[in-house]
Amino acid sequence: MSKPSNRQKILTEGMRVVHEHGFGGSSVRDIVQAAGVPQGSFTNHFVSKEAFGLEIIDLYFAAAQAALDESLGREEISPLQRLRTYFQLNRDNHSRNDRWNGCLLGNFSAETSERSPAIRVRIGEIFAEFEGAFAACLRAAVTAGEVPPDLDCDQVAGFIVGSLQGAMLLAKAQHSTSPFDRFEEILFSRVLRLPGR
């Protein structure tokens, strides 16, 4: 296996540094020190810190897409169980090793979206992709008779993305999974419940 390039080291270690300290709280010097590469390597590979930020957003999203595939993509289990599996993966990921860094996308959105239109637009596109994945799963749940037939899948998918981001923000602040638990409880017992159950 070949050694990772300086560019790959900057992206991988830089994403970790930014996730822990925030985009504004992570200098180029912090990033290259974590990557173990000369400072000039950063400017050799990225035209700006914003360009670097956009690349780590896409790197993070690639990992998030893998979690979507591991859960919502599992057609051998029921649609609502797919949703529960996704939420469990998400909860585990955001509390791993007692590190409460929150969602990198949510962190970027709160910290940089007003200063960087390019980052704001990219994060909006990614959240729209999440909404699309949730909406497709909810439509499968309608077909399977697991949720009310008149469920507005697109609206509920938007609600899931917004509520999940809020739960991750609270979990980060509280160092607790209870916001995830509360979100899931309300989603499955109130929003997605079939009438009479």
Has residue 197 been placed in a domain?
A: no
75 and 39 both lie in a single domain = no
Q: What is the mean pLDDT of residues 102-113?
A: 90
Q: What is the mean pLDDT of residues 25-42?
A: 95
130 and 41 both lie in a single domain = no
pTM of the model: 0.93
Residue 92's pLDDT band, with cuts at 50, 70 and 90, is confident
Has residue 105 been placed in a domain?
A: yes
**Any idea what the CATH number is for the domain that residue 40 is in?**
1.10.10.60
60 and 130 both lie in a single domain = yes
Number of domains observed in the structure of the chain: 2
37 and 77 both lie in a single domain = no
58 and 143 both lie in a single domain = yes
CA distances from 139 to 87, 158, 182, 185 (A): 18, 14, 24, 20
Distance between CA 12 and CA 52 in Å, rounded?
Answer: 11
41 and 87 both lie in a single domain = no
127 and 155 both lie in a single domain = yes
Identify whether the C-beta of residue 140 lies closer than 8 Å to the C-beta of residue 131: no
Residue 98's pLDDT band, with cuts at 50, 70 and 90, is low
pLDDT per residue over 129-173, tens digit each?
999 999 999 999 999 999 999 999 999 999 999 999 999 999 989
21 and 62 both lie in a single domain = no
**Any idea what the CATH number is for the domain that residue 99 is in?**
1.10.357.10
- The whole domain housing 72 covers 54-191
Residue 66's pLDDT band, with cuts at 50, 70 and 90, is very high
Residue 55's pLDDT band, with cuts at 50, 70 and 90, is very high
80 pLDDT more than 60: yes
Residue-level pLDDT at 139 = 98
Distance between CA 81 and CA 87 in Å, rounded?
Answer: 10
197 pLDDT more than 70: no
